[in-house]
Amino acid sequence: MTRLIPFVQQHILRYAALILCLCLLAGCSFSGITKDSSTIGPVDGNGKLRVIFIDVGQGGSQLIITPSGKAMLIDAGNNDKEQVMLDTLKEYGISRLDIVIGTHPDADHIGGLDKVIDQLSIGRIYMPKISSNTKTFESVLRSIKRKGLKVSSAKGDLTLNLDSGVKVHMLAPLTKYEDNNNMSAVVKVSYGEHSFLLTGDSEADSEQDMLASGADLRSNVLLVGHHGSKSSTSVAFLKKVNPQYAVIQSGRGNKYGHPTQTILERLQKKGVKVYRNDTQGTVEFLTDGHHLQIRAER
Ligand SMILES: [Zn+2]
């Protein structure tokens, strides 16, 4: 008996230490909404939906990885971010993109797409039905052609098949607009209790049409349209989406003055917590459908 007590004590201590370690490693960080600044990259993403707002400076790019490992890329930043895109995809272990979406032909969104298409295995590619005579656009089309891919038309009210557990719904463009920005593909990704509204550069006209369409716009995470320009995120649209979190993809000290004070104040007034690529680097959301974890690069 006298020898048994220290033995039991030793084991209790061991188990306590083990439980503490396990808790620190996994459980506690998912007990609610958390933010940590650990290095962005592959973590315990298995069984979770990951939505990564890649820091491409002044431009846009979102990578979606589903619980079963399917991947969708929306935009790929500007031409000078090709290597950043390839490095980031590699870092996340992505060699195949099941869906690629070029929201609209502007260089700050599709600039890096040509190299991504060249280097990775690609499933389907969606772009809105507009053409552009820029070198950037032509380069993307050449890469698509070289791969023997066909472009599917990006348009409103389209359900995309990515992963049976994750709903991917394209909400816009709902009509033909003069303006390229309004032609942006807008995509809502939903998994369990969480949804992400990824808006490209869509502006007030497209927002108005999405509202009128009666589509379910509510999302707890909103990619702020057009880098936080005041041409987007209209009061009625923001009210309908009613996000808890917003992400702004803009470059540090960009010449456009993005994001604008008007939009920052509009978001603040609604109590929306804002994450920004220009100040925080890449921002990532992970969810098991219930808990939401937010990680920022800095
Ligand atoms: Zn843009």
Every domain of the chain and the residues it spans = 1-31, 40-296
- Estimate to the nearest angstrom the gap between the alpha carbon of 89 and the chain centroid: 13
CB 73 within 8 A of CB 50: no
Q: What is the pLDDT of residue 260?
A: 97
Distances in Å between the Cα of 297 and the Cα atoms of 35, 130, 139 are 10, 35, 31
Bridge partners for 83 per DSSP:
none
pLDDT at 11: 54
- Report the alpha-carbon distance of residue 124 to residue 140 in Å, rounded: 14
Q: How close is the Cα of 298 to the center of ligand 1, in Å?
A: 23
pLDDT over 70 for what percent of the chain?
85
Which of 169, 171, 179, 78 is closest to 130 using CA atoms? 179
Map tokens 């993403």 to a residue: 45
Under 8 Å between Cβ of 116 and 89: yes
Provide CB contacts within 8 A for 177, sequence distance 6+: 183, 205, 206
Residue 173 phi, psi (nearest 5)? -80, 140
- Assign domain 40-296 to its CATH superfamily: Ribonuclease Z/Hydroxyacylglutathione hydrolase-like (3.60.15.10)
Question: What is the per-residue pLDDT for 161?
Answer: 96
Q: Return the pLDDT at 22.
A: 43
CA 109 to ligand 1 centroid distance, Å: 6
User: What pLDDT, on the 0 to 100 scale, is given for residue 10?
Assistant: 53
> Separation of 32 CA from ligand 1 center, angstroms?
33
Residue 26 Cα to ligand 1 middle (Å): 36
Both ends of the chain: CA-CA distance in Å?
Answer: 55
Cα–Cα distance measured from residue 140 to residue 119, given in angstroms and rounded to the nearest whole number? 13
Tokens of 255: 């010449």
- Give 125 Cα–ligand 1 centroid separation in angstroms: 19
Give me the pLDDT at residue 231, please.
Answer: 97
Q: How far is the CA of 124 from the centre of ligand 1 (A)?
A: 22
C-alpha 226 to ligand 1 mean position (Å):
5
Query: Do residues 257 and 289 lie in contact, with contact meaning Cβ atoms separated by under 8 Å?
Result: no
Q: Which residue positions in the chain have pLDDT lower than 70?
A: 1-45
